Amino acid sequence: MAVVGATMDERVPRDFETLRATILDRRASLPKRIAQIAAYALDNPDDIAFGTAASIAASAGVQPSTLIRFAQQLGFDGFTSLQQVFRERLRERNSSYDERLAALRAKAEEGAGHRAIFDGFVAAASTSLSDISRSLNDAHFEEAVTLLAKAETIYVLAKRRSYPVASYIAYALGKLKIRNQLVESAAGLNAEMIGFATPRDAVIAISFSPYAPATIEETRSIAEQGVPIVAITDSSFSPLAQFAKVWFEVAEADFGGFRSISATMALAMALTVAVGEKRREAGRRRKG
């Protein structure tokens, strides 16, 4: 009568939370050194994720072999597979939204009703917002605000998908009584409009892949006139980046082939209001 292989019975924890629970559960019954490495693992999960068996063992004050025994006792076949769980944890920290998005996409695919589409766009917007919140560089933002606050006229340049953002910026600048010029394509007078810009003005240019040729062309031409440019785009390899004094890289999540614009909007609003704020500060200083 064949005995079933021992490893088949083991329920190997595949995610960090389960692993953590398992360790805490067995903690009392673990031998001294194993318990030592167990405690270390829960206290320094990042070290486990990135270190080598030798370096971790040294930090925890045990032998590498103990580390492996620890992993095996939990049902893994070695340190390497245990480490995967700790690495996954770090990745998921960043991509939990992405997974939710993927799930929603799948649901939408199988025709689960139109609510799924709405949820998808909300999730895409949330993801984009948390991304930009993490990645926005304070110094760049400050630089852009300073640059724009000094401008006599702010030119706003965007086509197609980015156009709504530009129109919002123009609206908000107007509300704040900051002179601005929205460069639209309708009347075909863009070249002339741009021609009036001087180095004392500034530009906000917005374009995402696939970059509207007109936006690129106009940005280039205005840059050549010495007008400083703040660009909002989606990659450092964007053609806009090369013309810009400051540029922001905004990674928008997409759903159903339509990218969110929430992060871009938030950035645009913040820029606009910050410029207004900065001008007010400057005004007070001049008077005071």
Partner DNA sequence: CGTAGATTGGAATTAATATTTCATATTGAC
Partner DNA sequence: GTCAATATGAAATATTAATTCCAATCTACG
Footprint on this chain of DNA (rule: CB under 7 A): 31-34, 52-55, 62-66, 68-69, 71-72, 77-81, 83
Classify burial at 128, counting beta carbons within 10 Å of its beta carbon; exposed 0-12, middle 13-18, buried 19 or more: buried
Q: Which is nearer to DNA, 26 or 150 (CB)?
A: 26
Q: Could you tell me the smallest distance in angstroms from the CB atom of residue 10 to its own copies?
A: 23
Q: Which residue has the tokens 């895409």?
A: 124
Q: Which is nearer to its own copies, 87 or 245 (CB)?
A: 87
Closest C-alpha among 116, 195, 204, 189 to residue 157: 204
Distance (Å, whole) CA 39 – CA 35: 6
Q: Which is nearer to its own copies, 77 or 277 (CB)?
A: 277
Q: Which is nearer to DNA, 30 or 269 (CB)?
A: 30
Q: Choose from DNA, its own copies, none: what does 62 bind? Cβ within 5-8 Å by kind.
A: DNA
Q: Could you tell me the smallest distance in angstroms from the CB atom of residue 261 to DNA?
A: 36
Tell me which amino acid residue 139 is: A
Distance (Å, whole) CA 150 – CA 148: 5
Q: Could you tell me the smallest distance in angstroms from the CB atom of residue 72 to its own copies?
A: 22
Distance (Å, whole) CA 11 – CA 131: 35
Q: Which is nearer to DNA, 72 or 225 (CB)?
A: 72
Structural tokens at position 226: 């010495």
The answer to whether 244 and 231 have CB atoms below 8 angstroms apart is: yes
Q: Could you tell me the smallest distance in angstroms from the CB atom of residue 237 to its own copies?
A: 6
Q: Could you tell me the smallest distance in angstroms from the CB atom of residue 84 to DNA?
A: 10
Q: Choose from DNA, its own copies, none: what does 203 bind? Cβ within 5-8 Å by kind.
A: none
Give the list of residues 6+ apart from residue 43 with CB closer than 8 angstroms, or none: none
Q: Choose from DNA, its own copies, none: what does 245 bind? Cβ within 5-8 Å by kind.
A: none
Q: Choose from its own copies, DNA, none: what does 133 bind? Cβ within 5-8 Å by kind.
A: its own copies
Distance (Å, whole) CA 25 – CA 10: 15
